[in-house]
Structure formats: structure tokens, C-alpha cells
Structure 1
Amino acid sequence: MTTHLGLVNNEVMRLFLEELQILDHLRSLRHYFFLMDGEFCSIICDGMIGKLENGATPAKLPNYQMLHSTLHTALGSTITGNDKNAENLSFTISDVSLKFVLSSPGVLNVLSFSYRIEWPLNRILNPETLEQYGNIFK
């Protein structure tokens, strides 16, 4: 039984590390959610803050076209944009407020990243884990 358990453990590790490339997904999460890529971070932040400074209203800022455009520009202009996992990244909007308080440090807390992950990786990078990554991004 011990030998069989060892074989199964080794096969599961091989599956996640080699075939599913979980380390690449973790690296991608670090680059995007932790803003470890300075160029990506700069483009995302400049895009969002620029829209706020130009008077974007809460009804206009969190729309799909504007967010997708900002994300696409950031991914296309950085090294991590060549990341094969970049297609899994998108913005999510948690709440739309009635007005923005530009002096508030939490003015963009309504925005977060989401990262699409499929089975069986979603057993490890489950929604609760990705939610924690989203909280760090905020």
C-alpha cells in the first residue's frame, strides 16, 4: 500500500508540474495580481487613474470595452503579454458606486482581476484562493 501511494503521489506531482504546468499559472498570478511586472502595473494604473482624472463617471468607467482595452494595451506592451496564460485574465467589477471620491485610496476597490482556471487545476487554484489573490490586488 505504501509503495502504491508513493507511485500515485509521484504521478499526481508529475501531472500538475509537467502536463498542467501549475508553476506557470502561479508565476502568471504573481505577475498580474501582485503587479510584479512594472510595465504592466504602470499601464494598468495609468489607464485607470487617467480615466478618473478625465472625469469618468461610475457608470462609464467600469464598462467592458474600456476595461478590456486597458487590459489589452497593458498585455500587449509588456513582456508578460507574451504569457500563454494572459488569455485567462480579465477584470471583474464588484460594485458600481454612485460617484467616485478621487481623494479616497479605495476609489478603485470595485475593480479586481479574475483568472479563469480549468479542471483539474481548479482543485488547487480554487475560487477561494483566487479571491485571496484578488484581495491582494485591491
Structure 2
Amino acid sequence: MVSTPNPSTDVSQLFLNTSLDSCAYKYEEFVIPNTVPYCNWTWDTILCWPPAPAGSVIRQRCPPGHGIDTSKFAERRCSAEGRWEGRGKDASPNMLGWTNYTPCYSPEVIQLFRKLYAGGSNGEADVSGDKCFFSLLYQEFNCIYFVCTLI
């Protein structure tokens, strides 16, 4: 099951859900049904994600930013057990989970990340020894501004 918020409220949601406190406030009265497991609401430091039934995928429009395509969607997956899924197929579910912002990046940013991960030659980026650092950079959406300045 894939759930996408109403497009008419996307812009207002971006401005209303800009902190952990506003996310908590939005869902403070939400009662999780006892009939099926649910993933709880979560704040991933970028977007506020609503509670989701087990086995579902929820999507939200990508937030604005340099190198970001706001016509695309970020997504989170709620496991069959009612826990947010981690990154990758083999990652175990956990309470915080992982948000897939990869579809949000422009082709130029994706190309830059590929260079950073693969290591370059002839003056291209070679970060083979620093993959952990760039893995963290890749996951932190807020760092996209730094990466875009390198383009």
C-alpha cells in the first residue's frame, strides 16, 4: 500500500512540520488502532512522517533545496511488524528507520555522489578511504547545499 499526502496541502505541511515539536504536536492525539500494527509518527530532521499501517509505503513531496526536484517524492517503508525499515533490503527494521530521499536529487547531484563513492581518476574525487564520511554526508539531506557548491 502506498500513501501520498494530498497535493493541495504539501506546501503548507512543509512550513508547519519543520521541527520535532511541531511533528509531535500534529500527532499528539492520534490513536493507533489495535487491529493492525503501526509505525509511529517520526521526525527525520527534514520532514514529519505520519503514523503508517504495517506493510505500507508512505510518500511526501521532496522539500525545496538546491539540487532537489520538488516534483518527486521521498518515501519511508513500514515493515510488516510495524517498525520503520532501515536502509537497504538487508537492513533490519528499527524505530527511527530511514527515509529514502534519493529520488529527490537532481541528475547532477546523483552524478556527483557517484563520483564521490566510486573514487575518481584524472583529477576527479577519490574518496575510497573516506566512504564512511561520504555515506553520512549522503544520508544527511541538509548537507546537500555543501555538495551543490562543488558543482
Bin of the TM-score, shorter chain as denominator length? 0.3 to 0.5
Q: TM-score, normalised by structure 2?
A: 0.32
TM-score by length of 1: 0.34
Bigger relative CO (Cα 8 Å, ≥ 6 apart): 1
Structure with higher helix content: 1
Higher gyration radius (CA)? 1
Hey, which of these two has a bigger chunk of strand by percent? 2
